[in-house]
Structure 1
Amino acid sequence: MKKLLNYLPGFSLALLLALVARFIQSLLPIPIVSDSLIALFLGILLNNFWKPSKEVTVGLTFTSKKILKFSIILLGASLSIETILTVGRLSLIVMLFTLVTCFGGGYFVGKWLGLDWKLSNMISAGTGICGGSAIAALAPAIDAEDKDIAYAMSATFLFDVIMIISFPIMGRALGLSDIAYGLWTGTAVNDTSSVVAAGYAFSEAAGDFATMVKLTRTLSIIPTVLIFSLINTYSNRKNSVTLKTKNEKVNLISLFPWFIIAFVGMSVINSMGFIPLPFSNALKLLSKFLMVSALAAIGMNTDFKEMRKSGLNPMIHGFIISTLVVIVAITVEFFMGIV
């Protein structure tokens, strides 16, 4: 109970920013900007004028990580398992092409820019899988240094912000349907929170679809981490690091995205008719509001001064790979006849 009370100041601030974002959106004559995007920028703006205390930061981190995942679980109560299986089938082909682009193209771009292979592949993982979550999962498996983790986080987040703004504009300019846009966003935008923001900025249906695609894409964390753990083990053979020692760094239980299991579980329960429609709709509204709160917390945790210290080459790497993924994803959709 005491631990939960420690989260209260930061969580309350995130909720307040979400309410303000909703209010600002309600004042707009046309909903051209989503409350998710407004909340994100409110958090960033506030963080530049007021640095939260440690007590507040704890709650903000809890909101940006745990509450976001909880909101996705609640979203499952309004979805059917048949829809999720359809999403997985559609997204698998696009996802395979984007992952090959990230890690294949990232290898050559990283060598060209003279980046360490660990930093290069963390940026690629953040771009191809799920932003900060993939970087955090991959870092201990390859013994990444703290500065490299910070570089990779900064490089992927910067382009997440750009994508949140540009994707709805490009989607409307291309005349994409909700399904096509949701699939494009879910496979090309990096972090889960950014997918949520960019998806719902286009439409509610696109946001739902993009979130489901993103959850399917997140599962690729496990094979990616295992593969790079083996690569790191091989590269460190001369340092007499045993395979057993390296395997201890890879905990499948901790790496597996548990919230996806819960998300699918809620969808199965809803598909079986155990959740009444009014209650399902209420859970979806609560889910969306908690997502907006999580985005506000993420904005509050963003310091542009620290990001500027990350240097130029990792940013160039992130820009090139992000751009390639955006182009590859929409091109594959075109040849699949989805666009």
Structure 2
Amino acid sequence: MKKYAPGVLLSLLISVPSWFLGKAFPVIGGPVFAILIGMTMAPFVKGKDFFRPGVAFASKKVLQYAVILLGFSMNLATVLQKGREALPIILATITTSLVIAYLLSRKLRLPGKTSILIGVGSSICGGSAIAATAPVIDADDSEIAQSISVIFLFNIIAALLFPALGAALGLSNEGFGLFAGTAINDTSSVTAAASAWDGIYGSNTLETATIVKLTRTLAIIPITLFLACYRTGKEKKTSGRSVTIQKVFPSFVLFFLLASIITTAFPIPAGVTGSLKELSKLFIILAMGAIGTNTDLIRLIRTGKKPLFLGFCCWLGISAVSLILQILLGIW
């Protein structure tokens, strides 16, 4: 406790105002505020060695606990039943984003970990997917901060632009719910866009968009397991080290699945699952605050053009595929 307490308390100090700012400005979200505050505070923090163990614990372990708690908001039966119609679109958009991220990372000569985080964050569920993937691929704090920043920018653009775009394209209420749920990265921005649409047209697309978004979130499980297997296989090939079960099957992802199964199998009160979901959000904000204190803001700005272009291409590809498949499936 003595070792970790200072760094965890510093991260908590950042996370509290970030939490309230995220509530006041949900389109931006608490994690982004936490990273920004952390990066702003970083140059003024003296004796960083004193805080380093706790900051490392918050940015790694607390992030994994956040993913586990997220599982308690996932009723698999409800999500799969109501999200079944959107499954072809979800699979197509996830594949599109990952393929674009892979091809462009080679073309732009971007670091592989950054491109993976942007690809996964764009296609699955923004900050939560990045939180789940980062420990699996051993991404450092600057790579996580870069990816979160890219995702945040296109979240805001989508939340503001999509209701007007959907109206211009003549989307039905169901069509816009699918569009928002499959083409917007983060849950807060999906909620913002769908709520704006409902406010304009008096519809109930928020429920559709949220369920589609939760169905996307389930992709965390196979994606992280695949990346774990790929990483361990690559390490064994390059260094000759033995592959461990813990690396191939990250325990926090399995606990995320277990939490989802518990929520599905047992009648847990909505108040309890809602509280656990809020705690998961707080843990993500706390971890992002820790990551912010370890991030060089000047370097982040200097190296930001290529990741931004990659994020834009992933976002554009997902949006186009979502709309095209709606036309082909007759949902529009």
Q: Is TM more than 0.5 here? A: yes
Residue equivalent to 2:317: 328
Match of 1:220 among 195, 219, 223: 223
TM-score (norm: length of structure 2): 0.69
- Correspondence 1:157-168 to 2 at 5 A: 157-158=145-146, 160-168=148-156
TM-score (norm: length of structure 1): 0.68
Taking the aligned partners of 2:100 and 2:231, their CA distance within structure 1 comes to 17
Residue equivalent to 2:119: 128
Structure 1 residue 164: deviation in Å? 0.8
Whether the aligned pair in 2 keeps the contact of 1:156 and 1:318 (CA below 8 Å) is no
| Cα offsets for 1:285-310 (capped at 9, x unmatched) | 32222222222222222112444676
| Equivalent AA in structure 2 for residue 47 of structure 1 | A
**Structure 1 pair 321/37, CA: closer, same or farther in 2 (3 Å)?**
closer
| Cα offsets for 1:38-93 (capped at 9, x unmatched) | 22322222113335622312212211221122122222223201245466935322
Taking the aligned partners of 1:267 and 1:216, their CA distance within structure 2 comes to 13
Residue equivalent to 2:3: 6
Structure 1 residue 5: deviation in Å? 3.6
Whether the aligned pair in 2 keeps the contact of 1:168 and 1:201 (CA below 8 Å) is no
Residue equivalent to 2:124: none
| Identity within the alignment, % | 21
Match of 1:74 among 60, 65, 69: 69
| Equivalent AA in structure 1 for residue 324 of structure 2 | F
- Correspondence 1:1-339 to 2 at 5 A: 4-24=1-21, 33-51=28-46, 53-85=48-80, 89=87, 91-107=90-106, 109-110=107-108, 115=109, 120-129=111-120, 154=142, 157-158=145-146, 160-175=148-163, 180-186=179-185, 195=186, 210=213, 213-214=216-217, 216-217=219-220, 219-224=222-227, 246=239, 248=241, 250-251=243-244, 253-307=246-300, 315-337=304-326
Taking the aligned partners of 1:132 and 1:278, their CA distance within structure 2 comes to 24
Residue equivalent to 1:145: none
Whether the aligned pair in 1 keeps the contact of 2:63 and 2:131 (CA below 8 Å) is no
| Equivalent AA in structure 2 for residue 126 of structure 1 | L
RMSD over aligned CA atoms reads: 3.9
Whether the aligned pair in 1 keeps the contact of 2:228 and 2:249 (CA below 8 Å) is no
3-state secondary structure, aligned to 2:295: coil
Taking the aligned partners of 2:132 and 2:51, their CA distance within structure 1 comes to 22
Aligned residues: 293
Structure 1 residue 217: deviation in Å? 4.3
Taking the aligned partners of 1:25 and 1:275, their CA distance within structure 2 comes to 27
**Structure 1 pair 39/136, CA: closer, same or farther in 2 (3 Å)?**
closer
Whether the aligned pair in 2 keeps the contact of 1:127 and 1:156 (CA below 8 Å) is no
Whether the aligned pair in 2 keeps the contact of 1:34 and 1:197 (CA below 8 Å) is yes
Structure 1 residue 328: deviation in Å? 0.8
Taking the aligned partners of 1:120 and 1:14, their CA distance within structure 2 comes to 27
